[in-house]
Each structure stands twice: as C-alpha cells, then as structure tokens.
Amino acid sequence: MNNKAERLKKAKPITQVEVDAALAHRLPPGQALTERFPILHEGEVPNYSLPDWRLRIFGEVENEMEFSLEQLQTMKQSQVLCDIHCVTRWSKFDTTWDGILFKDLLPLLGVKPEARYVMIHADNDYETNLPIEDMLNDNVLLAFLFDGEPLTPKHGYPLRLVVPHLYFWKSAKWITGIEFMKEDRPGFWERNGFHNVADPFREERFSGEDLGLPEDLWKDVDFD
C-alpha cells in the first residue's frame, strides 16, 4: 500500500472532458468522462515467463484444464467496442478490445450443468466473482489486445477479462484461472465493502455504507 501511495504522489493529474448531450445517456450517474486510461491496481505489476504461463480451468467442470497463451491465441478471436466505467468515478468511451468471447470459450470447458457462477483468479492473489449469465453477454471477453496493440503490463498483459457492463474491478487484470462454482462466493473487493453485482447505472459501488472513496482519486493516478 505504501508503494501505491508513492505512485499516486508522483502521478500527473488527469482532466475530464465535456460530454456531448447526445452521448450523455452512456455516462452512468456519478461518473466523469476522460480520454485517458487511468491505471489503478493493488500490488505490483507481475512479470511473466510466457512459456510457463497457463490459464487454469477448474471447479465444477468434468476435467480440470490448462491453456497456454499460444493455445488461446489460436482460438476464434473477436473484437469488442465498448465503454468502460471504474468505481473510482471515471468512464472512457469507445474502447476497443480483441480476444476470445467468453461465450465462445465456454463450450470447450466441459462445465457441469450445476455451475452457476465463476470466480476469476488473477495475480496478485486477486479474485472477483460473477454469475455465468453475466459472462455470456456478447461483449464479455478474455482480451489480448487493447486499441489494436498487445496489452501493456499495467493494463493486464498477457490476458485480462473485460466485462463492460459492470464496474471495472470485475474486469480483472493478469488473469490466471477461471473457477466454476455452484454457489456464489465474494471476491477480493466484494469481501472488502464493494457491491457484489457492480452495475454502474445503478451506482452499485458499495455493499453497505459509502467507503469514503474520494470522487477525484482517479485524477491523481498514472495513466496511458
């Protein structure tokens, strides 16, 4: 946490942009629009040896599986254009991601019928929970590319989840596993006061009282 505080002190401020009236319906309540891509995460950015990297599939599946990055990159690829919304109150319109739609990956995994939820596991010891129903949206994908380029380490290289219709903490960076579950179980931020569902248009930020998240926190972080 001290390292994060030091990074915030050194970061340049980000400015928000005006929202055209015709686009205002795309901005959830309490959000500010930016053209930058703020960088927020807990812990240090991990380093990987790509030949050793694996995505593990486990839990309520017929057989536990692992995929190398090379194997994933040979699968059907799709591109998604979407808006993204962070719980720290910034939104970015018209972001472009390339990767594997979760709905295209699911039939390959031998998931048992009783599985209703997933836990996304990621470095550093991060996890976030979602209903499978949410994961089947047409724009939810495991992303390799952002804006036509490979993900940078700070944005989740080599693989991240993108769930555009929920606050961006659900879009875990540096994912390493997908656990299928019969029952729901809270992830890291969900255990620490954040809402279990995270719908930005309903302002589902917190599970109880407002955690006192500063409205301008995002303006002082690093960004691309």
For residue 3, is it within any domain? no
For residue 43, is it within any domain? no
Among 31-45, 52-66, 85-99, 127-141, which stretch is predicted with the lowest mean pLDDT? 31-45
Structural domain total, the chain? 1
Banded model confidence at residue 37, pLDDT cuts 50, 70, 90: confident
Cα–Cα distance for residue pair 15/100, rounded to 1 Å:
32
For residue 38, is it within any domain? no
Q: What is the pLDDT of residues 145-191, one digit of tens each?
A: 999 999 999 999 999 999 999 999 999 999 999 999 999 999 999 99
For residue 213, is it within any domain? yes
Asked whether the predicted pLDDT for residue 1 surpasses 80, the reply is no
For residue 209, is it within any domain? yes
Cα–Cα distance for residue pair 119/135, rounded to 1 Å:
11
Q: Which domain holds residue 64?
A: 51-82+93-217
For the domain that residue 109 is a member of, what is the CATH number? 3.90.420.10
Buried b (16+ CB within 10 A) or exposed e, 71-104: ebeeeeebebebbbbbbbbbbbbebebbbbbbbe
* Single-letter amino acid code for the residue at 174: W
For residue 127, is it within any domain? yes
pLDDT at 3: 44
For residue 161, is it within any domain? yes
For residue 172, is it within any domain? yes
Q: What is the pLDDT of residues 186-216, one digit of tens each?
A: 999 999 999 999 999 999 999 865 555 555 5
Q: Alpha carbon 60 to chain centroid distance?
A: 22
What average pLDDT does range 40-51 have in this prediction? 81
The answer to whether 155 and 84 are in contact (CB under 8 A) is no
- Give the whole-number percent of the chain exceeding pLDDT 90: 73
